[in-house]
Structures are given as structure tokens and as C-alpha cells.
Amino acid sequence: MKGLTLTPLFSAMALTLALSACSDNNLESVQSSQAPNAVATASTSQEVSNPFFKPYDTFMEIPDFDNIKNEHFLPAFEAGITERKAEINAIANNADAATFANTIEAMEFSGALLTKVSGVFYNLTGAHTNPEIQAISKQVSPMLSSASDDIFLNDKLFQRVKAVYNQADTYQLNTAQTKLLEDTYKRFTRGGANLSAEDKNTLRALNEQIGKLNLEFGDNLLAETNAFELVIDNAADLAGLPQDIIDTAAATATKRGHEGKWVFTTSRPSITPFLTYAENRDLREALFKGYIERANNNNANDNKAGLAKIAALRAEKANLMGYKTHAHFVLEERTAKTPENVYALLDKVWPAALAQANAEVADMQAVIDSQGGDFTLQAWDWWYYSDQIRVAKYDFNEQQTRPYFSLESTLEGVFYTANRLFGITVKERTDLPKYHPDVRTWEVYDKDGSLMAIFLGDYYVRDSKRGGAWMNAFRSQSNMNGVESKPIIVNVLNYPRPTGDEPSLLTFDEASTLFHEFGHALHGMLSKVEYASQSGTSVPRDYVEFPSQVMENWMTQPEVLAQFAKHYKTGEVIPTELVKKIQAASKFNQGFATVEYMAATKLDLDWHTLTDTKLRDAAEFEAESLANMGLIKEIAPRYRSSYFSHIFAGGYSAGYYSYLWSDILGADAFEAFKENGIFDPATAQAFRDNILSQGGSADPMQLYRQFRGKDAGIEPLLRSRGLLEDNAAE
């Protein structure tokens, strides 16, 4: 799957609601929105010195990164919590009868300063962190958890919310208002509002403990990832590697103090090509094991005890809330509804995927045997030998695609596709504030010529950035109280830096990731809702990946490739023959890709369907889980427990299945474009009107049915992966 997109942290009030789960379902990087014209009630000296205490004096009120310093965060968080507490108390103590406007909307509009500082801070924790930010995060996490609990567990406030909920029929609410009311009520009940006083105190303690452990997990993993390096001092050990990969490794070595050598790390742009092309099998094994053993080395950064404690505490919290397991608690609010439904879906796909993976193993073992190898295929061999088969079967390997997918040309392709589909255009700005020199900024204009959004792109790997790829928001779209707030959206990825005179060159898969993440960005930028808590990607976790999965499809279309896939030196359009090879190879190795993903998904569900609070031995639990699912030894799960940050440091606990769930929707939705034309204006407008613009303002599956005219079927996904029997010979 593509890298993570981090889902919504709602609006000012909804940030409060979400932070109740900060300890439990905390997103890897908080996507938040800024209420219009947010100004804190702070002292004159603070207003002068702290950029958060006044409107940003910048274009479109982009965060004033040039003047925001680490020391500004904690005072702003403290002031924001205090301000929001006063606003909530005013709502709870209002002498007037509770109404939708003076209770539900009032909460939605509260907490502007807290949302403002959170939007910046939690973006930086993922994209450009440092020890000081990490320390602040540890200090702020329990503060936010406690402040959020103060809202959810405020009985006077809950009684007002409940009164409005019970009288909903009298308010003549529209669809978005009805959903806001229902979601607010649910968040209170799921946040413990109906618990006894004793149980509320227990819940507070659980939230605080889980939040602390989430942060420790992420910090340990970052430290382990940054610490590992494979240092090569013999050029012979580079045999098989493309020159651009060798050059990048030399640059990494210089940066890390190994002048004249080559360094490979566990970042994807480094490890993937090494495993694919390096002829030295022992070194492939060393790098692979360096990756899969992260935070599992019985040192100060080991995550096993912490993750086991997280799982136990989540089970305890679920039981306290009246749920059988943490997965039952989480999935109640997702489109899947229950873990049983998710397991059922996985059971439909797993047999075909595993059978295909076993066939792929047999093919690779045959290659090893034909070459006189005296060993059986191991997990660290998969990329190397599968690439040989790809070359032999399709006369294709991804390195052939790199010259045609520079970062710059691929961005042009992304913008071209968005323009053809939705009429939007972009204009790059180099004079706007940014949080790191790598960041690029564009103004985004709608088809009527109006300025619609600001888009930031942060594309290069660096030590201050966590791995993966994601979309986030510094400010979400809203139109609250008639005041329009235009979104400020960012895509963060980890591509190799340009080396020498060469630009950053991407593989076909890496270029596809750029399309994927921009699909999330479009979801945020094309949002057209009233309430910030319903904006853009503020949708169920198993629905949020859907628009981005759809966007990937245009990347593979010859008509689109012809527009941007051009050789970075000659300008030659990617040859038709190479495009045919890409398409022919698109279903190759899908047994592996599906199985490694599903293994991580099943591991996630197994950890979160625990019914008791017994502390498990993490290594034994994982081994038993993988054995029960029948995972073959030649494939490791995409994420092992100790570095599964999606579920132990982020917001995907009991939800990593979401990629597959969303991929079903994505494959089915693209069928509509294939039926009517990939740039058919009516289909594109229907997708924008029913999906991208609606955010979380209505039931997501109803929105899907409005677009597609039916529920999604699983066949398009299986067909696209070559997992249907009628595709077996393809």
C-alpha cells in the first residue's frame, strides 16, 4: 500500500473530541483545521512574541514558519487549552435551553487557538521533528488527553448534548447538521459520558497511559531507524546496483561521516533497490534483517514490552466501555462495522493471494536452481529473484522507468490529471513561508479562476522526517458562520534527493505514490462543507484511502503517461513498448504484495481482538498469529509488531485493513471512468460532487451509492490484481 495519509482531526471543537482518543487512536500526524479569524486571548507581550497569539501576517494566513520557534508551542498549547476550557464551560453553564446552535454548533466553533497550534505542531512531529519537539510532544500529550476528558466527562455538557439529540426532529436539520449532531453525541458516549464517576477516573488514567506509550513507541522506532546503517567499503559489494543508487549511497555516506564509502539505510528509497539489485546475498540479508528487526533488539529502543502494554490497556478500555474487544469498539464507527466482517473479507481474498504467492515462490526457486544455487528462497531474496523473473517474463524492470519519471515531470502529470478531471490549475510560489527548505508551495485555482487552496509538497527523505508518505492539513476547508476558510494542504513523501546533475528520479511505483497522495490532497482541497469537522478527509478510516486509490489509476493510462513521462535528458516521451511492458507486468508479484499486506492486517486484528488484559509476550504472540494465518516463511508481514507504527503510534489500530477495504471501492469506482471515458466530464463532476466535496458531511456509503448507483463489488479489485481464476493465464 502507499504510505499513510493521516485522517482528520476535525475542527476546533472536533479537535477536542478527537483528542479524547489521542491516547488510543492518535493519528500519526494530526490533521487539523483552523477556525476562521482565530485570535487567542493572550497578554500583549505574548501577542508580540508568539505568532500563534495573533492572525498570521502572511498570504492566505499560511502559518508563519519564519517566526514560529519551538519555544512558542507549549505556551500556545497551554493558552489554547485554557481558552477552549472557558468556551466549553460557557456552553455547559448556559442558562438558556440547549439548542443545536448554542450547544452543538457552539462546540464546533470553539477552541480556535488549540486547533491553530495543533495544526502546525503535529505536522512537524512527522515531517520535521527534533528532540525538543519530541519532548514537547511528551509533555503536551497528557495535557491534551486530560483536557479532552474534561469535555467528554463533563456531565452538565453531556446533558445539553443529549437534550438536543433527543429533540433532533424539532430542529429541521439538514443532512450535514444531522450528522454533526449524531457524531457529537456518539463521541460523548464513546468518550465515557455514560460511565460512573469511578469508571470515568479509570478511563482518564487509561487514556493517559496509552498516550504516553504511543509516543514512546514512535520515538523508539525513529531512533532505531536513524541508527541503522549498512556501511560498504568494498566497491565489489555494489555489484548489480544501478549507478544512481550507488551515487545516492555515496552521498548518504558522506553525510553520515563515512567519506569514500557507501551507506544504505532502512528507508524505502535505500533498502528497496538494494534488495532488488545487489548481488551480494549476505548483504541483502543483513539489510533486510536490519529493517525487520527494528525496535526488536532488546535495547533501550525495544518496543515489545510497550506494544504489549498498549494492546492490554486498549482491551481494558474497550471492556470498560462495554465492548468485547478494542476492534469492536473501533470498528463500530467504520464502514466495516465489526472485526468479524473484516476477517470475512480477508478470508475471501487470502486463499487466492496465498496460492499466487506460492506459485511465485516456485518460479523463483526454479531460477535459483537453474543458476546452481544451493539454497532455498528466503524473504531477503524475494525482490532480487522476482525482479529477474519480471525481466525474463516481461523484459521489464522498474529501473527502466526511472529516466521517465523525474519528480518534476511526475508533478506535471499529477497536475495535468487534476486539471483534466476537475479543471483546477496551480501556480508555484517561492516567496511564501515554509517549515523546511525542501518544501515547495503552490496556489491552487478552481475551474472558475478563484483561489481555492494552498498546496505544499515536501518530497525528499531526511532524518527529521518519519518514513512513508502522507497528506495532512495545516488548515481544513470550512464555511462556518458564513466565513470561508480555504484549505492549506501538504503532501509529505520520502524520495531520493537529486545527486550531482541528476534530478530526483522515481520508479514507476514511487511515481504512483505521488498520484496516490495527491488524491488525498484533492480530497482536502476540493472539500465544500460548512463544518470543519466534516471537511475533506474527515471520514471513516476505512473510507479515507478510497479517493487516493482511485487517483492512482490515471498514472497507468497511456494518454496520461504521454503527457508527462518524458526522459529527463532527451525529453523523449516514454516509448509505447515500455508502457505495454508496464501494463503487462502490472499484475506481476501480486501474490506477494497482497499477502505481505494482509499478513500485517491480520496481525493488527489479532492484537486488537484480545478479550482480556493479560500481558502477552510480543514475540510469541506474533509468531503464533503468523503461524495461525499460514503465512509462508518466504514472506515477512509488511509490518512486524515492533515497528508497526500505524497501529501502535498512529490511528490505524484495528484499522490497517482499511487499504484493502478502500481499494475495493477504488477499483469499483474507476470502472465508472473506464465505462464512460477516463476524463469524462460528467463522471468526474459526479465524483467531485458526491465524494470529494462532501467529506464527512453524510454517510460515506450512501455517498458512494449516489456516485456509482450501486454498492461496490470485490471482482474489480481481484481482477486488477490478477487473482481471479479467469486471469490466471495472463
Which residues lie across from 479 on neighbouring strands? 484
Quote the pLDDT of residue 45.
53
* pLDDT computed for residue 725 by the predictor: 59
Sort residue 234 into left (φ over 0), alpha (ψ -120 to 50) or beta.
beta
Please state, in angstroms and rounded to a whole number, the distance separating the CA atoms of residues 386 and 403: 22
Q: What's the rounded Cα separation, in Å, for the pair 495 and 242? A: 16
Contact of 311 with 616, CB cutoff 8 Å: yes
**Rounded mean pLDDT of 528-534?**
97
The amino acid sitting at 599 is A
pLDDT score of 379: 97
For residue 428, being part of any structural domain is answered with no
Alpha-carbon gap, residue 518 to 231, rounded angstroms: 35
Residues 79 and 91: their CA atoms lie apart, in Å, by: 19
Mean pLDDT score of the chain, rounded to an integer?
91
Say which residue, 16 or 386, is predicted with more confidence.
386
* 335 in a structural domain: no
Q: Report if residue 232 sits inside a domain.
A: yes
Mean pLDDT over 539-564 rounds to 93
Q: Which sequence positions are flagged as catalytic? A: 517
Mean pLDDT of 423-435: 98
What are the grid coordinates assigned to 394, written together? 516481461
Task: Tell me which residue has cell 540479508.
Answer: 285
Mean pLDDT (whole number) for 67-72 = 97
Name which residue leads in pLDDT, 494 or 43: 494
Question: Would residue 243 count as lying in a domain?
Answer: yes
Of 351, 376, 380, 386, nearest to 594 by C-alpha is 351
Mean pLDDT of 636-642: 97
Could you tell me the pLDDT band of residue 18, with boundaries at 50, 70 and 90?
A: very low
Residue % of the chain over a pLDDT of 70: 93
* Residue 273: inside a domain: yes
Q: How many domains does the chain have?
A: 1
Count other Cβ atoms within 10 Å, centred on residue 310.
27
462 vs 446: CA distance, rounded Å: 33
Least Cα distance to 604 among 634, 637, 630 occurs for 637
Q: Which three cell numbers stand for residue 355?
A: 496460492
Residues 6+ apart with CB under 8 A from 111: 12, 13, 15, 16, 35, 80, 83, 84, 87
Query: CB count, 10 Å around CB of 557?
Result: 17
Do the domain assignments include residue 206? no
Strands 230-232 and 262-264 come out as: antiparallel
Query: Domain range holding 283?
Result: 228-292
Residues 674, 679, 683, 689: is their CA dihedral positive or negative? positive
Instruction: Let me know if residue 276 belongs to a domain.
Output: yes
Question: pLDDT tens across 679-726, in order?
Answer: 999 999 999 999 999 999 999 999 999 999 999 988 888 888 888 754
pLDDT at 39: 36
Query: How far does Cα 590 stand from its chain's mean position?
Result: 22
Is residue 365, in this structure, part of any structural domain at all? Answer: no
Cα–Cα distance for residue pair 8/118, rounded to 1 Å: 12
Residue with the bigger pLDDT between 45 and 348: it is 348
The number of helix segments (H) and strand segments (E) in the chain equals: 29, 9
Q: What would the pLDDT profile of 459-475 be if each residue is shown by its tens digit?
A: 999 999 988 899 999 99
Residue-wise over 262-276: b if at least 16 C-beta within 10 A, else e?
bbbbbbbbbbbbbbb
Rounded to whole angstroms, the Cα distance separating 410 from 404 reads: 9
What angle in degrees, to the nearest 10, is found between the helix axes of 339-370 and 590-608? 140
- Are 283 and 271 in contact, with CB atoms under 8 Å apart? no
Taking every pair of C-alpha atoms in the chain, what is the biggest distance, in angstroms? 85
**Helical ranges in 128-196 per DSSP H:** 131-152, 155-166, 175-190
